[in-house]
């Protein structure tokens, strides 16, 4: 088993192992605004580093960085898409690449999916397919998509219109949990 320090990275390795599984984790807005272990009055601590560790323990090389306050969605999505293209250029099969986005990270993840148009990459949207962003008609999903949110989330999350207008989808699934965690679902590894 690899050392956890070598499996959690802030950027794509210069010589990626094409047989490894890579997971980009795009955190929620609260980390951007309040640091790597922020506390919400409603949901408690956002355990960003613990989430990364659990993903690494599941066998992924995790690529994630705490975004700077005020990070703009589209430029950051371009950065992630560029990193994914580096992996693909280094012969990492698209099926070995996953991108998980939580809340604002989910919106970034959606743009990455839309721009890469790669049907074998896996995308997980964790409380992140917000209805209010459907106004961007160019925002369509590609790849193998999983959307998860808690039924009690107070934010308006509805992946079904995204699925309906996204002709490039491979497999897709929508899971609504009844954990009564609301948007706090993204704060802990589950």
Three-state DSSP class for residue 68: coil
DSSP state of 123: E
What are the structural domain ranges in the chain?
Answer: 4-187
pLDDT at 34: 97
pLDDT at 190: 87
187: tokens are: 């704060």
DSSP state of 151: T
The proportion of the chain whose per-residue pLDDT surpasses 70, expressed as a percent, equals 97
Residue 3, pLDDT above cutoff 60: no
Mean pLDDT of 4-14: 87
Alpha carbon distance 70, 46 (integer Å):
18
Residue 190: partners with Cβ closer than 8 Å, 6 or more residues away = none
Residue 18, pLDDT above cutoff 80: yes
pTM > 0.85: yes or no? yes
pLDDT at 1: 45
Phi, psi of 73 (to 5 degrees): -60, -55
Tens of pLDDT, residues 163-190: 999 998 999 999 999 999 999 999 999 8
Alpha carbon distance 177, 82 (integer Å):
33
Residue 25: partners with Cβ closer than 8 Å, 6 or more residues away = 51, 52, 55, 62, 63, 64, 100, 102, 105
Residue 9, pLDDT above cutoff 80: yes
Question: Which regions of 44-167 does DSSP assign to beta strands (E)?
Answer: 44-45, 60-63, 97-102, 122-126, 142-150
pLDDT at 32: 97
Closest of 188, 163, 3 to residue 102, by C-alpha: 188
Closest of 72, 141, 82 to residue 113, by C-alpha: 141
- 4-187 domain in CATH 3.90.1010.10? no
Alpha carbon distance 109, 12 (integer Å):
16
Tens of pLDDT, residues 59-108: 999 999 999 999 999 999 999 999 999 999 999 999 999 999 999 999 99
pLDDT at 100: 98
Closest of 164, 152, 161 to residue 132, by C-alpha: 161
Alpha carbon distance 106, 111 (integer Å):
9
Tens of pLDDT, residues 23-60: 999 999 999 999 999 999 999 999 999 999 999 999 99
Tens of pLDDT, residues 116-161: 999 999 999 999 999 999 999 989 999 999 999 999 999 999 999 9
DSSP state of 67: P
């Amino acid at each position: 088993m690899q050392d956890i320090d070598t499996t959690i990275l802030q950027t794509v390795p210069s010589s990626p192992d094409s047989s490894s599984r890579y997971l980009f984790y795009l955190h929620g807005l609260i980390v951007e605004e309040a640091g790597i272990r922020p506390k919400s009055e409603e949901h408690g601590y956002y355990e960003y580093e613990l989430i990364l560790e659990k993903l690494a323990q599941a066998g992924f090389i995790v690529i994630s960085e705490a975004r700077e306050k005020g990070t703009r969605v589209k430029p950051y999505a371009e950065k992630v898409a560029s990193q994914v293209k580096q992996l693909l250029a280094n012969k990492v099969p698209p099926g070995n690449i996953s991108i998980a986005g939580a809340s604002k990270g989910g919106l970034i993840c959606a743009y990455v999916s839309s721009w890469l148009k790669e049907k074998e990459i896996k995308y997980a949207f964790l409380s992140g397919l917000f209805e209010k962003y459907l106004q961007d008609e160019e925002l369509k999903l590609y790849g193998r998509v999983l959307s998860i949110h808690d039924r009690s989330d107070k934010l308006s999350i509805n992946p079904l219109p995204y699925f309906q207008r996204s002709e490039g989808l491979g497999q897709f699934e929508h899971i609504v949990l009844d954990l009564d965690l609301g948007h706090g679902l993204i704060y802990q590894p589950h």
